[in-house]
Each structure stands twice: as C-alpha cells, then as structure tokens.
C-alpha cells in the first residue's frame, strides 16, 4: 500500500511539474525562514541554561524609591550579599562580580593589545555558575590576589599552544597577574561575558569603595533547593530594618531576587551590567508571529493550487472510488503527497539554512547552528514539518476525496470553492501587508532616533579612554591638540554621554523643603565640555577658569531644576556630597541615554583629576588628517599605550542595535512574504487563465482587444489585494502603535507608510500575474475555438 502511494505521489509530482516546482520552492523558502527564526528563538530562551544550577540561581537587585519614581538598579552595595547569606540559611552561596567597562591594555612579551572583558569576582562565583575549566583548578583559581582566569581565546592569542598556567601578564602597564586557570570561551548566550577574571579581593587592595553607599557590584545567589524567591523581598526588607535599627521610611531601597532565567529577556534596569537595559522578550513574540505568518502563506499557496487543480484529478478520484477505494484511503494518499512535498522542501530548506547561517551569525552576533543531536532542535524541526504538511494537505485532501464518482465521471465537478480561494489569497496578502507596513514604520522610527536633535552635536567627535600617563599629561596633550588647525576643541568627562555609571542621591540645595530623595547623574568635566558638544545654556553661564571659584561650582540640566522645583536657580547654593558651592548655570536638556528613556536629572562639576574619556572635536573634512595628527601628539605624551580612537556617533547608533536589526530582519521577511504570496498568485493566475481559455477566445472573436482581456483577468486579483489592505492596515496600525509606546521619544505613524505599502503590494501583485494574463490574451481565438 505504501509503495502504491509513493508511486502515485511520484507520478503526480512529475505530471504537474510547474505546480510542483511552485509548491516546493514556496515551502522550501518558508521552511528556511521558519527554521532560522526557530534557531534564534532557541538561542534566546536558552540564555544561561548551560549552568547546571540554572533554576536555583538568582541575582540580587533593588528598586530605589526616589523623588520622581522608582529607580531600578541591578547593582548592590558590596557588603550586602555576604550579610544576607550569613543571616538566611536558604542561601547556599553568594558571589559578587564587577565588570570593567573600559578596555584594558594587556602586555605579554612583545604582544600588546587592548582587550574588552576584564572583571573581578568572588571565588564563590565559580561554583555558582558553570565554567568549563581547561587548565587549572576551579577551587583555587581566585585564591591569590594576583591570580587571573583567562578564556581559551586569550590563551591562544597571547600564548599560542603553550600552557599559560603560571605565566604573568601585565594589565594597563602596571598590574601584574599570574594565570591560574584557563576556561572555555563563554557561550554567546551567557549574560555574563568576560575574557579575564581577577579576584574580588584585588578591588579592595586598589582602594575602590566597597561601603554601603556605593551600588557598584552585581551579586548572585545560589539557593539550596527550589524556593519561592518572591518571599525573600519582604524578608530582606524586615531584616534590614531590624539590622540597622531603621524606621520604615528610612529604608529607601527594596532588595529582591531576579531569577537567572529572567535576566536576558526581562531586565528593565536604569543601571545594569553593560549600561541600562530594556525588556526584550516581546521580540520573541514578534518573530514567532513572523515565522507563523510565513508558514501560513506557503500553506495557503499549497491549498489554493491543490484545490484549483481538483478538476484535473476528479477522474482519478472517480475511477479509484469505483474500483473500491475508500475516502479514508484517498485522504491518506493526498496527505501523503503533502508530506512528501514538505519533506523534499524541508531537505532543501536545511541546505539553505546551512548556507545562510554564517551570514545570520555575522549579522546578529550569535552562534546559531543546526545540531541534530539537540533534542530541542530535532523536536522543533519535526513540529514545523508536521504542522506545515498537515496544514497544507488537510483541506485539499478532504475536499478532493469528497467527489462523487457518479458526478465526476460524467464531467460534473468544480475546482473547489472560488470564495474559499479568494479568502485565502486575501488572508495571505493581509499578512504580507502587515509585514511591509511594519518595515516602513520601524524604519521611520529608526530615522527619527538617528536624526532627532539630542541637544548635543555628536558629529565629527572622536573619543578615547584615559590610560597610562595621560592623566598626568592631559593638560599638555590638550594644549598641543588645540594648536592643530584640524582640531576645533578638546575636553574630557568621567562618562560617555551614552552611558553614565556615576549617580548619587547625596545632594541638597537652597530652598529644599522635602525629605524625599532623588537620584541625579553627575559628570566630572572640564570647562570645554559644553562648547565641544555644542550644548546650549538656558540660564547663567558655562564654566570659565577666569573665575577661580568655578572649580567648585555646578551646572544643572533643566530636568534636574524642574525635579527640584527650583525657581531662579542661578546663584543659589547646591551641595554634592561634602562639596557645597554655587549653581552658575542651567544647561538645556540633552539625551545621554537611548530615546527609550526620558531625559534624567544631570549635574556637571569640574573634576580635579581627569579620568574617564577624552573627546576631540574635529573640523569638517579633516578627519583622516586629524586622526594622524592626534596619533603623533598622543605618542609624544603617552608613548607606552597605543591610541584607540572611536567615533561618538557610532556609540549613539549602538544604542539602537536591536531596532536596526529588527528593521533589517522585518524588511527581509516582508520581501519573503511578498515573494511567496506572489508565487502562489502566479500559479493561481496560471490555472485561472488556463480554465478561461475558451471564454477569452470567444471574447476576442467578438472583438475584444488584448488590453481588455488583460484588464478583465487582472481586475479580480487587484480586488483581492484591495480587500487585503482594508483588513491588514488597521491590524498593522494597532500593533505598531503598541510597539512605539516602548520609546519615550517616538515618531508618528505616517499615512504615507500605509499608502506606499498598499501601492507596492498592488503593483507587485499585478506584475506577478500580468505575464499569464498577457500570454492568454495573445492566443489566436481560431486556435482556441477550432474544436468547439
């Protein structure tokens, strides 16, 4: 029986080669997109699952209750985690981690490179998380203050095939560390990323602040068994009040646990490991929906073409039923054909995935791959194939097998419900229109983000980090640069405009009558900070060293002044920690975070010792020559440290990487959706023009022109697309309006995006059928009607 079904499927496949090709091509492309999206989804939901204790690991985080709302911070004071472990038996281990955001200069013999990914950690972190140790001991890798764990990548880069254990490397030209262990490179879907890990003890030796007033450190906890982590928030709260003899109002932070499973997709913190974070799990739903849309489009194509060809197979059904075949056997046969076509398409799709994945990985920064030994992938692939085969084959199988042998052998048969086919075409084009409009609106939002006036001029600005002796020689370096004709200005700041880690609530001001706390960001700068970035002053003036007292004064942004409810702030006193001095200016607000966030309060003050970042404003048209000149001056004042220049505008673009990738992927999937929809439309147009050949011949014999015939045949398809737009437009508007609410600053949804999408779909749809309609209109009516 099975052999008979396979033989019949083989014959059908080759008898209708054109339709088989369209079905296989459509299914293969649709399955390719769906498999790639599924691999991406697996990677996202499997973040951090390589850790053996995945379900028992939590991060200690806090909500700071401040004036203006809750400020969410993923970092905590250094003493907190050890104290909580001591007092709560539910906690098995705690480990603190502190990444270094800036690059460090790594030197070994004649090799000298800047490296990202340096961090400090407690030894307990190695037991909480699962790291694959290739050399050295997990138990003793961080025992000594100068010990250093490196990854396989760093080991290969500096030591080649040598065993690096016991070898010493220099960090930033001063600190010497001895390699105590080598671990495998961390998986790309680990939220913690480092290449070098030093003992947390070294932080204390370096004099970093580890008191209760500094939220610099990320703490992780391992629980001894499954535990309702939500209960710990209230327990922590009551314990801290009792421990420090506080009033309820005095505890300004609520500490609680965040499951490891939530960190990647559900973090929404103003301060997080690598800048602030936004919830991203909605992208799982978005791209899952895209995969389903694409599969539905190819399924609809298969249904349409199969039911449209029903008349050609009616005689086969009649003969087989007369010979004794049951309807169940016929359904099995036609479902088998669907499975065979889907399996062939799936095989082609896997080949296409292998070809596409290197490009996808390069674009997304992931390490996606097809691993048949991975049960999640295998089960998912089987599910996709089954869903596609069953969905595509179900309706045609039940429809074709329902033919009455008495009627079909007399020639009384229909090619399926034309209304049903119209509904399917309308549905698939509605889906395609939603994707196209989504592409346009996402692109508009990206352009809005990139072109919005941020309150500062980020163009033509290079920056580099302080290193080596530049702290001591910065004044000489700055003076030398400002003498160059290519350089417009030079300044420094403790923070990048796109990423601030210096925030405090230790402020007070003249006229403050509220006991409420609020968080204010603070940048240490020099007098050229505002002019370099072209920032405006709303009231008062900029720092000016002609006034010696300016070294202790402050400039606030508009948001800070409004939050503090200060009237005429210039000239009033302001206190930052133990420094009380005068507010000399109010600067206009500028965006120093992504436009997902509203502008937050900020204060500028003159730093006594420069640190952080150097910013160099270059005159237009002088970039290449300027970079060469800057490098010469740098080598004069900081010869032991290579200069690494970056573009500030690139940092702002990096804030919207997720949206940029989403726009490109949406555009790509929209193109695929349109291609698949038009592929099905092309096949359907081929069938419909074929079935109306005699009608066309009669019309031409009666004097109809070729253009009249083309218009007659094309108008149905155009009508379907118009109906699809009426359905798709409001759905697209609803979901895109919701998506835009994620941004504090957002574009409006332009009617032009919808109009352009509609016109584009209409034109492409017409082009996809015009070949068939033109071919039908050019047939000689004498040839068509000679047998009538």
pTM higher than 0.75, yes or no?
A: yes
Question: 45-84 as b/e, with b when 16 or more CB fall inside 10 Å?
Answer: ebbbeebeebebbbbbbbbbebbeeebbbbbbbbebbeeb
Per-residue pLDDT band for 80 (boundaries 50, 70, 90) equals very high
More confident residue, 250 or 96: 96
Question: 654-688 as b/e, with b when 16 or more CB fall inside 10 Å?
Answer: ebbeebbebbebbbebbebbbbbbbbbbbbbbbbb
Q: What is the pLDDT of residue 515?
A: 60
Q: What is the pLDDT of residue 417?
A: 52
Q: Is the pLDDT reported for residue 317 higher than 50? A: yes
pLDDT tens digits, 586-610: 999 988 777 777 888 899 999 878 8
Per-residue pLDDT band for 787 (boundaries 50, 70, 90) equals very low
Q: What is the pLDDT of residue 595?
A: 74
Q: Residue 526 to residues 176, 482, 539, 557, 610: CA-CA distances in angstroms? A: 32, 15, 19, 16, 8
Mean pLDDT for the stretch of residues 683-709: 64
More confident residue, 303 or 140: 140
Of 67-81, 124-138, 402-416, least confident by mean pLDDT is 402-416
Q: What is the pLDDT of residue 499?
A: 76
CB-based burial label for 258 (10 Å; 0-12, 13-18, 19+):
middle
Per-residue pLDDT band for 401 (boundaries 50, 70, 90) equals low
| In the chain, where the domains are located | 1-49+267-416, 77-227, 419-452+654-788, 461-653
CA distance 439 to 18: 32
Backbone angles phi and psi of 208, in degrees to 5: -65, 150
pLDDT tens digits, 597-648: 788 889 999 987 888 899 999 998 878 888 999 999 999 999 988 899 999 9
Q: What is the pLDDT of residue 411?
A: 54
Of 260-264, 432-436, 455-459, least confident by mean pLDDT is 432-436
Q: Is the pLDDT reported for residue 708 higher than 70? A: no
List of E strands, 437-578? 461-465, 487-493, 503-504, 507-509, 520-525, 537-540, 554-557, 573-576
Average per-residue pLDDT in the chain? 83
pLDDT tens digits, 227-249: 778 889 999 999 999 888 888 77
Per-residue pLDDT band for 320 (boundaries 50, 70, 90) equals low
Q: Is the pLDDT reported for residue 20 higher than 50? A: yes
Mean pLDDT for the stretch of residues 680-706: 65
Of 252-256, 525-529, 710-714, least confident by mean pLDDT is 710-714
User: Is the dihedral angle over the CA atoms 337, 338, 339, 344 positive or is it negative?
Assistant: positive
Per-residue pLDDT band for 740 (boundaries 50, 70, 90) equals confident
Q: Is the pLDDT reported for residue 494 higher than 70? A: yes
Q: Is the pLDDT reported for residue 9 higher than 80? A: no
Most confident of 252-266, 741-755, 767-781: 252-266
Give SS3 for 98.
strand
Mean pLDDT for the stretch of residues 337-345: 86
Mean pLDDT for the stretch of residues 436-462: 83
Q: Is the pLDDT reported for residue 178 higher than 70? A: yes
Q: What percent of the chain has pLDDT over 70?
A: 83
Q: Is the pLDDT reported for residue 542 higher than 60? A: yes
Can you spell out the DSSP letters for 390-459?
Answer: HHHHHHHHHHHTT--HHHHTTT---SS-HHHHHHHHHHHHHHHHHHHHHHHHHHHHHHHHHHS--SS--T
CA distance 62 to 68: 16
């Amino acid at each position: 029986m099975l052999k008979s079904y396979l033989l019949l499927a083989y014959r059908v496949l080759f008898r209708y080669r054109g339709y088989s090709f369209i079905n296989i091509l459509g299914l293969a492309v649709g399955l390719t997109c769906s498999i790639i999206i599924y691999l991406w989804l697996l990677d996202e939901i499997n973040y951090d699952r390589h850790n053996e204790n995945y379900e028992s690991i939590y991060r200690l985080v806090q909500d700071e209750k401040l004036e203006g709302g809750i400020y969410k911070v993923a970092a905590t004071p250094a003493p907190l985690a050890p104290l909580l472990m001591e007092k709560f038996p539910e906690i098995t281990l705690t480990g603190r981690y502190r990444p270094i955001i800036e690059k460090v200069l790594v030197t070994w013999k004649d090799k000298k490179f800047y490296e990202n990914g340096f961090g400090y950690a407690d030894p307990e972190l190695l037991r909480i998380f699962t790291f694959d140790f290739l050399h050295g001991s997990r138990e003793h890798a961080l025992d000594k203050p100068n010990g250093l764990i490196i990854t396989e990548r760093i080991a290969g880069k500096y030591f080649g095939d040598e065993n690096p254990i016991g070898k010493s490397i220099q960090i930033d030209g001063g600190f010497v560390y001895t390699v105590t262990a080598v671990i495998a490179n961390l998986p790309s879907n680990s939220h913690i990323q480092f290449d070098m890990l030093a003992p947390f003890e070294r932080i204390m030796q370096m004099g970093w602040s580890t008191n209760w007033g500094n939220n610099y450190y990320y703490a992780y906890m391992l629980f001894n068994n499954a535990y309702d982590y939500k209960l710990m928030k209230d327990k922590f709260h009551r314990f801290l009040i009792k421990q420090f003899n506080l009033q309820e109002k005095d505890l300004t932070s609520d500490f609680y646990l965040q499951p490891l499973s939530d960190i990647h997709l559900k973090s929404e913190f103003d301060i997080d490991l690598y800048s602030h974070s936004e919830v991203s799990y909605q992208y799982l739903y978005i791209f899952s929906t895209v995969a389903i849309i694409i599969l539905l489009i190819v399924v609809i194509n298969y249904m349409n073409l199969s039911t449209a060809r029903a008349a050609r197979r009616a005689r086969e059904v009649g003969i087989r039923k007369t010979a004794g075949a049951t309807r169940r056997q016929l359904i099995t046969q036609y479902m088998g054909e669907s499975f065979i076509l889907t399996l062939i398409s799936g095989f082609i799709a896997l080949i296409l995935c292998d070809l596409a994945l290197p490009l996808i990985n390069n674009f997304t920064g992931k390490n996606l791959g097809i691993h048949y030994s991975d049960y999640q992938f295998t089960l998912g692939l089987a599910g996709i194939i089954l869903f596609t085969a069953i969905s595509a084959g179900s309706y045609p199988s039940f429809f074709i097998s329902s033919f009455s042998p008495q009627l079909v052998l007399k020639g009384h048969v229909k090619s399926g419900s034309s209304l049903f086919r119209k509904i399917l075409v309308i549905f698939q084009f509605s889906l395609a229109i939603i994707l196209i409009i989504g592409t346009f609106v996402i692109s508009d939002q990206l352009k809005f983000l990139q072109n919005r006036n941020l309150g500062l001029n980020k163009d033509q600005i290079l920056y580099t980090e302080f290193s080596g002796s530049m702290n001591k020689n910065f004044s000489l370096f700055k003076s030398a640069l400002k003498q160059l004709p290519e350089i417009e200005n030079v300044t420094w700041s403790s923070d990048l405009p796109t990423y601030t880690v210096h925030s405090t609530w230790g402020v007070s001001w003249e006229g403050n009558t509220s006991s409420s706390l609020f968080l204010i960001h603070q940048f240490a700068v020099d007098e050229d900070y505002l002019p370099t970035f072209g920032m405006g002053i709303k009231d008062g003036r900029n720092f000016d060293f002609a006034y010696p007292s300016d070294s202790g004064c402050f400039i606030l942004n508009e948001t800070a002044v409004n939050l503090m409810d200060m009237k005429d702030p210039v000239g009033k006193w302001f206190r930052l920690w133990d420094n009380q001095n005068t507010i000399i200016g109010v600067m206009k607000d500028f965006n120093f975070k992504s436009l997902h966030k509203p502008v937050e309060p900020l204060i500028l003050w003159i730093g006594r010792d420069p640190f952080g970042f150097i910013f160099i404003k270059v005159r237009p048209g002088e970039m290449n020559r300027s970079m060469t000149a800057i490098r010469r001056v740098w080598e004069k004042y900081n010869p032991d440290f290579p200069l690494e220049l970056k573009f500030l505008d690139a940092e702002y673009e990096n804030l919207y990487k997720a949206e940029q990738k989403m726009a490109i992927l949406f555009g790509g999937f929209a193109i695929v959706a349109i291609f698949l929809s038009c592929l099905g439309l092309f096949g359907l147009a081929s069938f419909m023009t074929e079935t109306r050949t005699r009608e066309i011949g009669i019309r031409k014999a009666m004097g109809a022109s070729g253009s009249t015939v083309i218009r007659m045949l094309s108008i149905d398809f155009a009508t379907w697309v118009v109906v699809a737009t009426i359905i798709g437009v409001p759905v697209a508007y609803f979901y895109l309006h919701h998506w835009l609410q994620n941004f504090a600053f957002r574009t409006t949804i332009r009617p032009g995006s919808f109009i352009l999408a509609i016109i584009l779909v209409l034109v492409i749809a017409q082009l996809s059928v015009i070949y068939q309609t033109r071919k039908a209109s050019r047939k000689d009516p004498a040839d068509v009607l000679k047998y009538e």
